Amino acid sequence: MKQILICFLTILFIISCTSNQTKTKEELANLRFIDAETFDKNLSESMSSNSENITVSMIGKVSVNKMPERLGKWLSIITNKMGKVDFKSTTPAKPINERNTGSLAISAVIGLLPSTYGFFKDEFFYGPAVNYDAILYYQADTGLLEKVIFIKK
């Protein structure tokens, strides 16, 4: 009987030590992009908590021309639900000549068109994105994405 009581108290102690940590407003408003399901979970949680602005910083090199499908899905939801996705350069653009006129804009649009496989399956998960617009900040000379800011409508 004594062993059962000790075992029960030990389990009770272990359970009480584990806590359901809630994220602060700052943690919800500042995320880092990693191409993993964890990112989707964190962004969905941030949007569901009605954060006004959510800044997603890039870890590593992410090109506007080769947008990761995971990030592209979030942006597609926004555009498909009549939200706005804008691009802003953080560096001065190269002088425009006939060879590169419009190439970045076309590439950026192509980069936003990820495969739509599983779109409806994920609609519930990505649903909070309906309430947000997005601004993508990129380097004009390299086309590298620096950050994405989701802004509550």
Q: 98 phi and psi, to 5 degrees?
A: -65, -25
Domain ranges for the chain, please list them. 22-152
| Structure tokens, 132 | 């947000």
Highest averaged pLDDT of the listed ranges 14-18, 31-35, 123-127? 31-35
Q: How much is the pLDDT for 107? A: 52
Q: Which of 70, 46, 24, 56 is nearest to 135 (CA)?
A: 56
pLDDT tens digits, residue range 75-113? 988 998 889 999 999 887 666 554 444 445 545 544 544
- Taking the whole predicted model, whether its pTM rises above 0.75 is answered as no
The letter for the amino acid at 137 is Y
Question: pLDDT-based confidence at 54, cuts 50/70/90?
Answer: very high
